[in-house]
Structure 1
């Protein structure tokens, strides 16, 4: 969009905003063509006919907003700085005091210090306060449609409108190429996650109610379904793994980290490598370590228990 006049730029932005507002409609049932496309995708991924029937595609919803979030990259200068606010550190310190017995018992099994476990829970879901609102079956099915040309074109338009609104400049072809690549990646991954989800929840009467983040993660520790299937552990001995229950979330996190190389007394550089398996971001790893240290120090100094 380099070289456009201010007037032309304004007119183009207005046009794109009109178009993308119309495209950003709320969720709706999948239409018949979309259901047929989804059946083809599921069959190619070796879903059984009985599973496809059980998914009840006619009763599932298309989530265009979830697709938009997945396909548009949002960069933040420092997305983790908010976790160093005094109120956050104090709350985590209180959590470490309140849950000391649970966290130390888990440390004996998995080798993960309470400060690390607590920091991850705080960063992922604010200790369970924000676990996600997106229906996970609808989300993973919707992401199959992300690779359709019409959906890619719509999201290229909305990405361009966002760039212009922010005063930036961008080439639509470059935006479209980036979005198309992301759409294929998300669609491919979501099929595997849907299968893992079904393996875990398919026999549950409330499988269709399970909710999580826009990325498809669920529970206090924000596991993808494939991680839940591979690493989920029953921490309270009730015979089930429920990542929305603190003992199970703590046990599952501990198992994940241990299986990926965490050991008691592991050197700092190895700690970082293991934590990076949880989230592929150096800033995330730094935040887990520093936040945990700050909160543990405050807890040792006698932080009050949380209300």
Structure 2
């Protein structure tokens, strides 16, 4: 009965469905959701995922943020100042000093220095102090619908619906404006690929700091991190840091802060 009700909501047919068409205003979002629901159902997304999709709303704040990412245009020194690099370095050192066994185990398992992990953690959410104020499902589906980067965000939107089915996300999950979730701000598609149950409770929950930090280390290792190699610009592992964020100034900031934490 539940599946039939959801099918009615989206007016899905048993035949081939029209591909979801992107747009650049809110006016086409509901029609896009109907078409995307058909694609999702054909890909195996179940009742919970489809219901969550039906509840999403066009995220105007997300679109505004995506089109006005001014901070990535700053020079490195100004970017570091604005992002509070001195505080991140100081608190990052304290995090490692207060829990050396945990960070030592992470490095032993994944080969990634604790300084890099905590620099990312500090940059992304201020060590979990602010993990976002946007509905994850609405944000990621809005970006999948928006024509600017639909090809990039559509797989993440599909993954988000699958995570709802598995119980890792819900229609009420809150995260960042681009649909990232947790302490180190994973996009939904990356949760399923790189997410790790670090605390052993049987659930990958990136709002838990242990799971999030283990997942971050796993992401970097799977992207090619070379244990023992350097990570500053021109060194082997800087190319892996480039996989974390597309903005050059962001990549450089992580490397600089991690080096200062080690220093």
Q: What range describes the TM-score normalised by the shorter chain of this pair?
A: 0.7 to 0.9
Asked if the contact 2:50–2:161 (Cα under 8 Å) also holds between the matched residues in 1, the reply is: no
Distance 1:109 1:83, change over 3 A: same
Deviation at 1:195, TM superposition (A): 1.3
Asked if the contact 1:83–1:291 (Cα under 8 Å) also holds between the matched residues in 2, the reply is: no
The whole-number CA distance in structure 2 between the counterparts of 1:262 and 1:205 is 27
Residue 16 of structure 1: aligned partner: none
The whole-number CA distance in structure 1 between the counterparts of 2:143 and 2:92 is 35
Residue 13 of structure 2: aligned partner: none
Residue 282 of structure 1: aligned partner: 248
The whole-number CA distance in structure 2 between the counterparts of 1:89 and 1:44 is 45
Residue 61 of structure 1: aligned partner: 57
**Unmatched 5+ residue regions in structure 1?**
1-29, 148-181, 298-307
Residues 90-109 of structure 1: matches in 2 within 5 Å?
90-109=90-109
Residue 40 of structure 1: aligned partner: 35
Residue 167 of structure 1: aligned partner: none
**Farther off after superposition, 34-43 or 112-121:** 34-43
Distance 1:34 1:250, change over 3 A: closer
The whole-number CA distance in structure 1 between the counterparts of 2:179 and 2:168 is 20
Say yes or no: does 1:231 pair with 2:194.
Answer: yes
1:207 match: secondary structure: coil
The whole-number CA distance in structure 2 between the counterparts of 1:122 and 1:203 is 29
Distance 1:294 1:219, change over 3 A: same
After superposition, the C-alpha distances for 1:132-175 in whole angstroms (9 at most, x for unaligned) are 1111111123335534xxxxxxxxxxxxxxxxxxxxxxxxxxxx
Aligned length in residues: 229
Deviation at 1:204, TM superposition (A): 2.2
Which consecutive aligned stretches of 4+ in structure 1 deviate over 6 angstroms post-superposition? none
**Farther off after superposition, 93-102 or 108-117:** 93-102
Say yes or no: does 1:252 pair with 2:215.
Answer: yes
Say yes or no: does 1:142 pair with 2:108.
Answer: no
TM-score, scaled to structure 1: 0.67
Deviation at 1:42, TM superposition (A): 3.3
Deviation at 1:206, TM superposition (A): 6.2
Asked if the contact 1:96–1:114 (Cα under 8 Å) also holds between the matched residues in 2, the reply is: yes
Distance 1:205 1:281, change over 3 A: closer
Asked if the contact 2:136–2:174 (Cα under 8 Å) also holds between the matched residues in 1, the reply is: yes
Q: Which structure: greater helix fraction?
A: 1
**Alignment partner of 1:192 out of 127, 151, 155:** 155
Deviation at 1:218, TM superposition (A): 1.0
Distance 1:206 1:100, change over 3 A: same
Q: Which has the larger radius of gyration?
A: 1
Residues 263-282 of structure 1: matches in 2 within 5 Å?
263-268=226-231, 269-282=235-248
**Unmatched 5+ residue regions in structure 2?**
1-25
The whole-number CA distance in structure 2 between the counterparts of 1:255 and 1:98 is 22
Greater length-normalized contact order (CA 8 Å, ≥ 6 residues apart)? 1
Distance 1:205 1:117, change over 3 A: closer
Distance 1:122 1:260, change over 3 A: same
